[in-house]
Amino acid sequence: MRVFRVTAEPVDPAERHAAALVVAEDPHEAVLLLRKDLNFTGYRLPPLELIALEPTRDQVRSALGDAAAQEKGVYNFALVARPDTPPR
């Protein structure tokens, strides 16, 4: 399995972007998992950014927990600043 770092754009431009890590076999499966995830309701798919990472199983376990090292899914969902928002 692979880990993908995802950034998604909200459907409502007044809302913030979202980010997550997705554990999946490939990019297509990652997008399917995002479509099923309730946290990504209201976000445009495919995501703005879908970057494959190459962590070891131990790194995944350390960062995301035991389940993520063995189970496909969406982890660490978070709202993030829009790219055009200046830092504070």
For the chain, the domains span: 1-9+33-83
Q: What is the DSSP letter of 86?
A: P
pLDDT of residue 88: 43
User: What band does 87 get if pLDDT is binned at 50, 70 and 90?
Assistant: very low
- On the question of pLDDT at 71 being above 50, the answer is yes
- On the question of pLDDT at 85 being above 60, the answer is no
pLDDT digit string, tens, across residues 22-68? 999 999 999 999 999 988 989 998 999 999 998 888 888 888 888 88
| pTM over cut 0.85 | no
| CA atoms 15, 45, 77, 81: torsion sign | negative
pLDDT of residue 82: 64
Type and span of the H or E element at 70: helix 66-70
